[in-house]
Amino acid sequence: MSTYILKRLGEAVLVCFGISLITFLLLHVAGDPVQLLLSIEAKAEDAAILRKSLGLDQPLFVQYGIFLKGLLRLDFGNSLFIREPALNLVMERFPATVQLTAAGMVIALVIAIPLGVVAAIRRYSILDNLCTALAVSGQAMPIFWLGLMLIIFFAVQVRWLPASGRGTVWHLLMPAFTLGASLAPITMRMTRSKMLDILSADYIRTARAKGLREQIVLFRHALRNASIPIVTILGLQFGRLLGGAIVTEAVFAWPGLGTLALSAIRNFDYPLAQACILSMAFIIVIVNLGVDVLVGWLDPRVRFD
Amino acid sequence: MKRRLLCVGLLALTVACGLAFGTGAHAAKDRVVVAFGSNIATLDPHMHSSRLAHIADYHLYDTLLYRSPKDNYKPGPGLATSWKSLNPTTWELKLRQGVKFHNGEPFNAEAVKFTIDRVLDPATKSVTRGNFTWIKEVKVVDENTVQLITAKPFPAAPEFLTLAYIVPPKYLKSIGNDEFSRKPVGTGPYKYVEWKKAEHLIVEANPDYWKDSPKGMPKIKTIIFRTIPETTTQIAELLSGGVDIIRNVPPDQIGVIKDSAGARISATKILRVNSLMLDSAGRASTTPLTNQKVREAIAYAINVDEMLKTILSGYAERTATGVNPLHFGFDPSIKPYPFDPERAKKLLAEAGYPNGFEILFSTYSGSITSVDQMADAITGYLAKVGIKAKRRHIEDVGLWTKMGQEGKMEGIQYYSWGSNSIFDADAILYALNYSKEPLSYTKDPALDQLLDEGRTSIDPKQRQEAYAKAQKLMHEKAYWIPINVQYTIEGVNKKLNYEAGSDEMMRVYGASWKD
């Protein structure tokens, strides 16, 4: 198992390297931060002086070489706008994003698993159809729209919750629900279809035949087996969740990695954008690795070699 | 069991919401919350050109000269009590006595010299260096007097001195640039308390603020500048009482705020002027725009008044000459071209384009309020007289500026100019219309001569006359088609005494709560 993890970590490094090259090229092709740092009224000479002092007058491959050299020491360089080490800025924002995505994940599971199970047990009932309708509309709903609707209702109309920001648990409720709602539909559908498969399996019939209580049949035998593909799906969806976090963070002014990445990209703040994107990529790789390991633990049939 | 769980969950949520009710949204009287659309990058006033960071700076620091709304935003006394030009290349400033930085360090001539030397030193990498390169040397005459030696006569010096934020030499030297950008110390009406980059900047009233400051003594104890990227969220916060002031309200949302119980609109014209710049010199390529009649036809073809009324909800003002009424040198006697599409068609026919022509029309993101709707309307009006505007949108401001400077902007550009916060006609006419300037697509020796005269003369009357002539000339030749003077539109808590400023600054230090 440890050789497997090491091998996967090696792959992760390669993936991150590839991502660094692609983002570096894309960002440098996209635009010039110097004009944004200066005001639009600034003179060309001032721009040239600034460009030189930031090292942006060097050829692209030299800049990439310098970047890679720093990367080996986990040094992404200083943010062009904030003028602080980019990695520090990322680490500052990291907890907020972890909190939001974790809460979003929990909410998604809390909504999706019970509904999925109920829909499977009461197949083709009104309840099942309702769940299907809910899942379809949930999947079709853009995250930012849901977020804004929640704000308008809970913050402006009834004034129960603060509209934006981070601080108390009340601040977390709406953004976490918004994010969770984006992940819940697919999880619910997956739970339902796996439960349906399993409920018609032989060992469930056996369990029932030997007189086990229905609750034990459902939760100890069926749901436990259904959890394996659900965990896999959650792992695969994690990237989408982080992407959704960017939108959610912007709508709710949540001070996380997503808004940081967004502003870094908008400003062509190369070092900061690199640090944001690479750390997100790294998280996704690690989560996927974690999911694989978890699936192995849940399902003894999976072997690592 | 599942059902029970669900019920308990719902109940918990309801109770939770009930508890939250009333705890969040009520504004305390001893603080005011301002929403910013993006994060401030640094609190070092010399390391950014960001409007929002300048607003924060305005509360933490003071400048040598200050623009007071009471005095029509003209450069007036700030940390310097008086200023005069001793000879064409020497400005002498008398400094205010008894002013102290927040850490107790005295403000004096040494601090002024240190500040300007710091900005000019290329090693500092200051992005505001360009505002001070006219200064060759700072001479300390005595504790409260400095002389600024310039390389060339520089009549606009007082304008630029309004951007001179003074920093404390001892403190800065002891902690270094990086730490200073996080823990700033100035002489301003508010003192730094806490800065969480992505969340908020908190400042607190400075009880020892110097008397006689044109900014006045602070009345509200705490100001919180909160980062809220989404405009819609900002509006929701304003309506729910979570924030008290928001900037850049989109014109189509004005009604929402006006109709609300707790908020109002505060709007005023700013220095920014939006115009259609025409390549009259044929700098990028030869087009029909080199013909004066064609340019006049464009001016007659567009119903600017209607656009300002419908798209900008009336929150805009016309200027006939492209110079802002706030600029020194504006000539109010010139009237804009009236809307007259028939005359436009006639002029086009006379110019040899009875069936119109096709022309490139470039726009860019940022600066111009409702730029897409405005450009759509212009395109429509032009089409009605036979001019087919081919639209090109440039997302990246850097690229936009670069193309402009390199002479690649053929046809019509929807240009916006903020005049670098300088309230003088020179700040817009010279950069955009002087033939040798990188952004100019106008080539007229007579105009150049007038602009030179306005720039180098120290006599205000002579300058005024030169600019009046220049504006008349530009209007007659229709070198550009001015669309509007832009407004800053802010949403403000109804209980707060506060108004938006014409220099796009926010003077929250002057705000107070109504009883």
**What type of residue is A11?**
E
> What is the interface pTM, i.e. ipTM, of the complex?
0.77
Q: Is A215 in the B-facing interface, judged by CB distances under 8 Å?
A: yes
Q: How far does A36 lie from chain B, in Å, by closest CA?
A: 6
Q: How many Cβ atoms are within 10 Å of B445's Cβ, its own excluded? A: 8
- Rounded-to-integer distance, Cα A219 and Cα A240, Å: 28
**Taken in order B218, B220, B223, B228, is the CA torsion positive or negative?**
negative
Residue of A260, A231, A233, A227 lying closest to A245 (CA atoms): A260
Structure tokens at B239: 């309506």
Measured between CB atoms, which of A114, A162, A255 is closest to B24? A162
Which string of b and e fits A199-232 if b means at least 16 CB within 10 Å?
Answer: beeeebeebeeeeeeeeebbeebbbebbbbbbbb
CB contact under 8 A, B39 and A263: yes
Burial of B104 (0-12, 13-18, 19+ CB in 10 A): exposed
- For chain A, give the percent of residues with pLDDT over 70: 96
CB contact under 8 A, A152 and B236: yes
- Rounded-to-integer distance, Cα B47 and Cα B180, Å: 11
Which chain B residues have a beta carbon less than 8 Å from that of A253?
A: 226-230, 233
B502 neighbors B268 (Cβ within 8 angstroms): yes
Q: How far does A115 lie from chain B, in Å, by closest CA?
A: 10
Measured between CB atoms, which of A34, A89, A160 is closest to B17? A160
List Cβ neighbours of A172 (8 Å cut-off, separation of 6 or more). Answer: A99, A100, A103, A166
Among B52, B127, B397, B439, the strongest candidate for a mutation testing the A interface, having the largest count of A CBs within 10 A, is B127
pLDDT value at B232 more than 70:
yes
Nearest CA in chain B to A161: B20
B495 neighbors B513 (Cβ within 8 angstroms): yes
Among A29, A32, A40, the strongest candidate for a mutation testing the B interface, having the largest count of B CBs within 10 A, is A40
Give me the DSSP letters along chain A.
Answer: -HHHHHHHHHHHHHHHHHHHHHHHHHHHHH--HHHHHS-TT--HHHHHHHHHHTTTTS-HHHHHHHHHHHHHTT---B-TTT-SBHHHHHHHHHHHHHHHHHHHHHHHHHHHHHHHHHHHHTTTSHHHHHHHHHHHHHHHS-HHHHHHHHIIIIIIIS--S-SS-SSSHHHHHHHHHHHHHHHHHHHHHHHHHHHHHHHTSHHHHHHHHTT--HHHIIIIIIIHHHHHHHHHHHHHHHHHHHHHHHHHHHHHT--SHHHHHHHHHHTT-HHHHHHHHHHHHHHHHHHHHHHHHHHHHH-TT----
**Taken in order B78, B79, B84, B87, is the CA torsion positive or negative?**
negative
Q: What 3-state DSSP class applies to B266?
A: strand
B400 neighbors B414 (Cβ within 8 angstroms): no
CB contact under 8 A, B397 and A93: no
- Rounded-to-integer distance, Cα A40 and Cα B272, Å: 12
Which chain A residues have a beta carbon less than 8 Å from that of B228?
A: 164-165, 253
Which chain A residues have a beta carbon less than 8 Å from that of B398?
A: 31-36, 268
pLDDT value at B385 more than 60:
yes
CB contact under 8 A, B233 and A117: no
Tell me the pairing of strands B90-95 and B135-142. Answer: unpaired
CB contact under 8 A, B125 and A50: yes
Measured between CB atoms, which of B1, B127, B233 is closest to A253? B233
Nearest CA in chain B to A269: B41
Which chain A residues have a beta carbon less than 8 Å from that of B434?
A: none
Residue of B403, B213, B374 lying closest to B304 (CA atoms): B374
- Rounded-to-integer distance, Cα B367 and Cα A291, Å: 47
CA A219 to mean position of chain CA atoms: 28
Which chain B residues have a beta carbon less than 8 Å from that of A37?
A: 48-49, 127
Q: Is A3 in the B-facing interface, judged by CB distances under 8 Å?
A: no
Nearest CA in chain A to B262: A156
**Taken in order A274, A278, A279, A281, is the CA torsion positive or negative?**
positive
CB contact under 8 A, B367 and A262: no
pLDDT in tens, B325-384: 999 999 999 999 999 999 999 999 999 999 999 999 999 877 899 999 999 999 999 999
Residue of B223, B513, B130 lying closest to A34 (CA atoms): B130
Q: Is A43 in the B-facing interface, judged by CB distances under 8 Å?
A: yes
Residues B153-181 have a mean pLDDT of 93
- List the alpha helices (DSSP H) in B21-91: 51-60
Which chain A residues have a beta carbon less than 8 Å from that of B396?
A: 30-32
- Rounded-to-integer distance, Cα B479 and Cα B469, Å: 14
pLDDT value at B432 more than 90:
yes
pLDDT band for position B60 (cuts 50, 70, 90): very high
Among A51, A83, A113, A252, the strongest candidate for a mutation testing the B interface, having the largest count of B CBs within 10 A, is A83
CB contact under 8 A, A170 and B129: no
Q: Is B122 in the A-facing interface, judged by CB distances under 8 Å?
A: yes
CA A215 to mean position of chain CA atoms: 33
Structure tokens at A49: 């002086």
Query: Which residues of A, range 45-84, sit inside 8 Å of B by Cβ?
Result: 46, 49-50, 53-54, 79, 81-84
State the pLDDT at residue A39: 63
CB contact under 8 A, A35 and B39: no
Radius of gyration of chain A (CA): 24
- Rounded-to-integer distance, Cα B376 and Cα B392, Å: 12
CA distances from B200 to A165, A260, B41 (A): 9, 14, 12
pLDDT in tens, B248-259: 999 989 999 999
CA distances from B480 to B292, B319, B389, B430 (A): 11, 12, 16, 14
Nearest CA in chain A to B44: A82
List Cβ neighbours of A13 (8 Å cut-off, separation of 6 or more). Answer: none
CB contact under 8 A, B196 and A255: yes
Range of weakest confidence among B26-30, B92-96, B305-309, B429-433: B26-30
pLDDT value at B202 more than 80:
yes
CA B14 to mean position of chain CA atoms: 46
- Rounded-to-integer distance, Cα B507 and Cα B501, Å: 7
List Cβ neighbours of A32 (8 Å cut-off, separation of 6 or more). Answer: A56, A268, B396, B398, B399, B402
pLDDT value at B295 more than 60:
yes
Q: Is A35 in the B-facing interface, judged by CB distances under 8 Å?
A: yes
CB contact under 8 A, A46 and B130: yes
Phi, psi of B266 (to 5 degrees): -125, 115
End-to-end CA distance of chain B: 55
Q: How many Cβ atoms are within 10 Å of B185's Cβ, its own excluded? A: 22
- Rounded-to-integer distance, Cα A47 and Cα A39, Å: 10
Instruction: DSSP letter for B149, please.
Output: E
CB contact under 8 A, B398 and A170: no
Q: Is A250 in the B-facing interface, judged by CB distances under 8 Å?
A: yes
Query: Which residues of A, range 174-213, sit inside 8 Å of B by Cβ?
Result: none
CB contact under 8 A, B39 and A32: no
CB contact under 8 A, B420 and A170: no
List Cβ neighbours of A77 (8 Å cut-off, separation of 6 or more). Answer: A66, A67, A70, A85, A86, A271
State the pLDDT at residue A295: 82
State the pLDDT at residue A51: 80
pLDDT band for position B435 (cuts 50, 70, 90): very high
Radius of gyration of chain B (CA): 26
CA distances from B218 to B203, B247, B421 (A): 11, 21, 24
pTM assigned to the model: 0.82
- Rounded-to-integer distance, Cα A5 and Cα A11, Å: 10
CB contact under 8 A, B197 and A43: no
- Rounded-to-integer distance, Cα B501 and Cα B313, Å: 19
Q: Residues for chain A: how many in total?
A: 305
List Cβ neighbours of A284 (8 Å cut-off, separation of 6 or more). Answer: A238, A239, A242
pLDDT value at B260 more than 90:
yes
Per-residue model confidence as pLDDT tens for chain A (305 residues): 678 788 878 888 888 888 888 888 888 877 777 766 776 666 777 778 778 877 788 888 888 888 888 888 888 888 888 878 899 999 999 899 999 999 999 999 999 999 998 899 888 889 899 998 988 888 888 989 999 999 999 999 999 999 999 989 999 999 999 999 989 998 999 899 988 988 888 888 888 888 888 888 888 888 888 888 888 888 888 888 888 888 999 999 999 998 888 888 887 888 898 899 888 888 888 888 888 888 877 777 776 65
State the pLDDT at residue B362: 94
State the pLDDT at residue B130: 82
**What type of residue is A102?**
A
State the pLDDT at residue B7: 46
Q: What 3-state DSSP class applies to B478?
A: coil
Structure tokens at B501: 């400023």
Structure tokens at B36: 């910013």
Residue of B364, B220, B335, B351 lying closest to B291 (CA atoms): B351
Which chain B residues have a beta carbon less than 8 Å from that of A160?
A: 17-18, 20-21
Burial of B168 (0-12, 13-18, 19+ CB in 10 A): buried
Residue of A233, A292, A236 lying closest to A113 (CA atoms): A233
- Rounded-to-integer distance, Cα A131 and Cα A125, Å: 10
pLDDT in tens, B83-115: 999 998 999 999 999 999 999 999 999 999 999
Cross-strand partners of B278: B412
Nearest CA in chain A to B405: A44
State the pLDDT at residue A305: 54
State the pLDDT at residue B26: 45
B442 neighbors B433 (Cβ within 8 angstroms): yes
Q: Is B61 in the A-facing interface, judged by CB distances under 8 Å?
A: no
Structure tokens at B179: 């730490």
Which chain B residues have a beta carbon less than 8 Å from that of A79?
A: 41
pLDDT in tens, B446-504: 999 999 999 888 788 999 999 999 999 999 999 999 999 999 999 999 999 999 999 88
Tell me the pairing of strands B245-246 and B31-36. Answer: parallel
A256 neighbors A176 (Cβ within 8 angstroms): no
Q: Is A151 in the B-facing interface, judged by CB distances under 8 Å?
A: yes
Range of weakest confidence among B54-58, B109-113, B401-405, B506-510: B401-405
